[in-house]
Structure 1
Amino acid sequence: MSSSDPKTGPKPGPWPPAPESSAMPPSTWAKKTGFRPKFSGEVNASDSVRAARQPETQPDLEAGQARLRPPPVPAVANGGTDKDKNEKPPPPPPPPLPSSRPGAVAAGPVKDQPVKRRRDSDGVVGRSNGPDGANGSGDPIRRPTRIEEAVGVLPQSMDDDLAARNLHMKYGLRDTPGLVPIGFYGLQHNLSMLGSLILVPLVIVPAMGGSHEEIANVVSTVLFVSGITTLLHTSFGSRLPLIQGPSFVFLAPALAIINSPEFQGLNGNNFKHIMRELQGAIIIGSAFQAVLGYSGLMSLILRLVNPVVVAPTIAAVGLSFYSYGFPLVGKCLEIGVVQILLVVIFALYLRKISVLSHRIFLIYAVPLSLAITWAAAFLLTETGAYTYKGCDPNVPISNVVSSHCRKYMTRMKYCRVDTSHALRSAPWFRFPYPLQWGVPIFTWKMSLVMCIVSIIASVDSVGSYHASSLLVASRPPTPGVVSRAIGLEGFTSVLAGLWGTGTGSTTLTENVHTIAVTKMGSRRVVELGACVLVIFSLVGKVGGFIASIPQVMVASLLCFMWAMFTALGLSNLRYSEAGSSRNIIIVGLSLFFSLSVPAYFQQYDISPNSNLSVPSYYQPYIVASHGPFKSQYKGVNYVMNTLLSMNMVIAFIMAVVLDNTVPGSKQERGVYVWSDSETVTREPALAKDYELPFRVGRFFRWVKWVGI
């Protein structure tokens, strides 16, 4: 029978033809997006958002290799019932009949339905007006990846050239720019870290009773030692582009030693005597750090040091100076508050403004804000805003008889910019030399305190090595390279003790922020900057100019620097699962007890009406004279009361014990992954990044624990 027989042929449809009906949308937003709530406290709340932002190639921060995303699971349409989930999936449906409407989709197995919903909720595949969720062309719609300002670590291949230069950096570790770029970026690198280099001596020298001339001399010495130690570190240490200088880790123990009871009744020049005691303690503690590194013991300690340990330890260093920051700023609010506001505005609100492809406000936030505030304070001083009739700001407060002048002496001392004569009295040329303050004095109790502090400084440096290597090198260093770098830091801190800088010379934590912002990872740039520091140290007027910075401005800048130091410490948690309840509790306990336990020691046996011989912002550092630990051995009392009153020591002890005893996977803990000897053999780029220059490493191949 013919197919055109009216009895058997299909009946004609309505005229005009009805439009194709699309599938009914889900009745609720949850059904439409496939949202599935998570109630586990172990999962980060932003997992779905993070999954939507993942690029096709996910960087492996630890190994430096690109991990390809697994192929997506094929998604099917919704359909079926709960009963079908326990049954085997039905065979594929037969092809549609010719009379089927185009665009109709057969119902698939319900077993894969959660996969479809999860991918939709992650934002990887979007919906549109086109068929099958395509944008009219059959291709799935992808949400644009949000571009953040934070610098990410891009994947690297095995190729030597690509491993030497990361795509997000202007210059890699072994790149050598031209002479002009090296000079420009070297000066930029030092200016961006100006606060970390000069602020520590501006705090400890006045605490020792030093004059403005002695402050200028110590500043010049710090610049000289920082330049020399940086050259040594980039050549024979970790070989990473890290500036060495007076770390804030040594500031709290230095202030504790300066305010020791035996120094309270000194007559004459207190500065030189206290500096010699401080030099002896630094030399012994640094020698212990050198032995720790070169003996290979640091390779064993690395097993205990993880991001969950580094983060609260370094954060506690910045938080410990809260009693020094704003109380000193309050001595002259109109100058100090303006300084803080300017540095915050430059570093945050104006950070994206670029001039000739350089974010000048973000990179030079500290020197720019200091210059503007200093100029404003100079104008106020010259116009007589801080001039009072019959009052001389150069006369000590104890010698002022007039009650009228005594009322304004504090304001004149901290607000005027002409009270320091350091620039006028500083010589044009001065060469810092070792033992310039005299022969160091060695006492076992102060040396033992510095030995413990050197371990904290090593932990700080380990975090800086790992973070900076992910930015500029092909892979993280080997444990032997880390031990070698820690050993050299101990040796360079011995040099700092011999020259008399007042603190040890270690890797500055702010290096990581500077490298990420400037995108400059060349070793040659840092070496040229170190040479510039040495040259500046020989010009005495440079030290005198820095010593002339008013103390209120120093305290204002320190408020910002210590806050950034705290943030840089906590940023190490990005290498672990920050949303894990295990890590949250460990970090929270470490930070809380790092503030609470030292407060108990610092406030013990001090009545509210007691008259102390030191300013209020130095009271946390006089605990050795009144601490709760009391035995028949005064030296033991001094060591225990001093160490347990330091925030970073308590944070380190809590974090190490909890992180290494509470069960947790390596991924959850964020265990640092260092390179091994097999990787060095397989990848020549790794050996070129960390091998010693001038073929020095050939003579030390037998000491595998301090090298590649």
Structure 2
Amino acid sequence: MPLIVLLLLCTLYMRKISLFGNHIFLIYAVPLSVGIIWVYAFFLTAGGAYNFKGCSSSIPSSNILLDSCRRHAEIMRRCRTDVSNAWRSAAWVRAPYPLQWGPPTFHFKTAIIMVIVSVVASVDSLSSYHAASLLVNLSPPTRGVVSRGIGLEGICTFIAGLWGTGTGSTTLTENIHTLDTTKMASRRALQLGGALLVIFSVFGKIGALLASIPVALAASVLCFTWALIVALGLSTLRYTEAVSSRNMIIVGFTLFISLSIPAYFQQYEPSSNLILPGYLVPYAAASSGPVRTASDGLNYAVNALLSINVVVALVVAIILDNTVPGSKQERGVYIWSDPKSLELDPASLEPYRLPKKISCWFRWAKCVGF
């Protein structure tokens, strides 16, 4: 709660305060707020604010016998900065390498889930491309540009899988809000940021330091950033007839159903006493969900997909938007220019071209629409 309050103060009430010619509190609201509350949590932990007699945050909840400790266990795990032992176990320098966790394994039922999730991520990236082009006053990306972007995300996801990162690569929608706030869309800045992230990944202590961020603090940041994502998505409705009853019903029903259906599926927990983290809830629902057919693989895939909010939202929105009659102005299709006219104008595509030193390696991609 303190972090959310501080974020709202910086982004809403202090956003017009200028220091050195820049709106510091608006541009750096998240890192400033996180840093302040992080230090505050560190002093609370060091001062013994989260110390309870006879209790330890390292003991699993299932092994805690005292009722008094059970009441304080969650507070200790979520608010202390020393819950993770990453700082003690992480190496100072460690170079990651391909297949460092062993050879990959493939399962058909999980592959189906990841294919659908990849489609959802691609649609999200597509909307991010268009939103970014509007913010920097560029023409909308053509089909070839979009194909190149999605293809590069796939290549990066493949590389991430080889290195065993555990997550894929996709467009970070929060960066669209960063573009709007900072007015910085330079490739140099993005290249420098990417290079720094690669360098930091070699130093294990940096990751261990980030692991000391309390869970409650990370959850507060996600509450704020996800709210920005929702606001960014709803802001694209300005290119449609927002007052149309057709659009209001589709948007409202999609938002409601994408929250209610996954909540129904996620209530089916597996027959286990383990307490699963939030990101494993869809897989828990997949193993014991309400859909039960003769095929175990189909049951797993359907239960998992219907327990993921973005999947349900995408499916419902696509079906309704493409089956309910509506004009181009009502749907907002008219706002995008004709891609053929853009392809005939080389100047409009110049900002989308790859650097010369990189484009020479992707000449072969023209045959697949890149």
Q: Same fold (TM over 0.5)?
A: yes
> Structure 1 residue 702: deviation in Å?
5.9
Question: Which of 98, 114, 119 is 1:455 aligned to?
Answer: 119
> Structure 1 residue 523: deviation in Å?
1.3
User: Secondary structure of 2:230's partner?
Assistant: helix
Tell me the distance in 2 between the aligned counterparts of 1:538 and 1:692: 27
Query: Aligned residue for 2:43?
Result: 379
Higher RCO (Cα < 8 Å, 6 or more apart) = 1
Tell me the distance in 1 between the aligned counterparts of 2:344 and 2:7: 47
Query: Aligned residue for 1:655?
Result: 317
User: Secondary structure of 2:200's partner?
Assistant: helix
- Native 8 Å contact 2:15 2:26 kept in 1: yes
Query: For residues 690 and 390 of structure 1, do their structure 2 counterparts lie closer, same or farther at Cα, with a shift above 3 Å needed?
Result: closer
Tell me the distance in 2 between the aligned counterparts of 1:702 and 1:490: 16
> Structure 1 residue 524: deviation in Å?
1.6
Whether 2:336 is the aligned partner of 1:673: answer: yes
- Native 8 Å contact 1:477 1:674 kept in 2: no
In structure 2, list runs of 5 or more residues that go unmatched: none
> Structure 1 residue 347: deviation in Å?
2.0
Query: Aligned residue for 2:244?
Result: 580
Tell me the distance in 2 between the aligned counterparts of 1:681 and 1:623: 50
- Paired residue type of 1:601: F
Whether 2:272 is the aligned partner of 1:598: answer: no
Tell me the distance in 2 between the aligned counterparts of 1:595 and 1:422: 35
Query: Aligned residue for 2:301?
Result: 639
In structure 1, list runs of 5 or more residues that go unmatched: 1-336
Tell me the distance in 1 between the aligned counterparts of 2:275 and 2:64: 20
Query: Aligned residue for 2:166?
Result: 502
Question: Which of 531, 545, 558 is 2:222 aligned to?
Answer: 558
Question: Which of 36, 61, 76 is 1:412 aligned to?
Answer: 76
The residue correspondences of 1:465-614 to structure 2 (distance < 5 A) are 465-472=129-136, 474-603=138-267, 613-614=274-275
Query: For residues 406 and 489 of structure 1, do their structure 2 counterparts lie closer, same or farther at Cα, with a shift above 3 Å needed?
Result: closer
Q: CA RMSD in A?
A: 2.6
Whether 2:98 is the aligned partner of 1:434: answer: yes
Tell me the distance in 2 between the aligned counterparts of 1:487 and 1:423: 37
> Which structure has the bigger radius of gyration?
1
Tell me the distance in 2 between the aligned counterparts of 1:345 and 1:396: 37
- Paired residue type of 1:565: I
Question: Which of 285, 293, 303 is 1:623 aligned to?
Answer: 285
Tell me the distance in 2 between the aligned counterparts of 1:612 and 1:350: 47
- Native 8 Å contact 1:476 1:675 kept in 2: no
> Structure 1 residue 676: deviation in Å?
2.8
- Native 8 Å contact 1:420 1:548 kept in 2: yes
- Native 8 Å contact 1:463 1:572 kept in 2: no
- Native 8 Å contact 1:497 1:504 kept in 2: yes
- Native 8 Å contact 1:643 1:649 kept in 2: yes
Q: Aligned residue pairs: how many?
A: 366
Q: State the TM-score, normalized to the length of structure 2.
A: 0.90
> Structure 1 residue 491: deviation in Å?
1.3
Tell me the distance in 2 between the aligned counterparts of 1:558 and 1:668: 33
> Structure 1 residue 392: deviation in Å?
3.9
- Paired residue type of 1:575: Y
The residue correspondences of 1:134-145 to structure 2 (distance < 5 A) are none
- Deviations along 1:33-57, one digit per CA (max 9) or x if unpaired, are xxxxxxxxxxxxxxxxxxxxxxxxx
> Structure 1 residue 500: deviation in Å?
1.6
Q: State the TM-score, normalized to the length of structure 1.
A: 0.49
Query: For residues 635 and 351 of structure 1, do their structure 2 counterparts lie closer, same or farther at Cα, with a shift above 3 Å needed?
Result: same
> Structure 1 residue 639: deviation in Å?
0.8
The residue correspondences of 1:259-278 to structure 2 (distance < 5 A) are none
User: Secondary structure of 2:162's partner?
Assistant: helix
- Deviations along 1:645-690, one digit per CA (max 9) or x if unpaired, are 22222211121111112222212111162553443433x4223212
> Structure 1 residue 405: deviation in Å?
4.2
> Structure 1 residue 404: deviation in Å?
4.7
Question: Which of 19, 23, 41 is 1:355 aligned to?
Answer: 19
Query: For residues 636 and 621 of structure 1, do their structure 2 counterparts lie closer, same or farther at Cα, with a shift above 3 Å needed?
Result: closer
- Deviations along 1:115-152, one digit per CA (max 9) or x if unpaired, are xxxxxxxxxxxxxxxxxxxxxxxxxxxxxxxxxxxxxx
Tell me the distance in 2 between the aligned counterparts of 1:420 and 1:601: 31
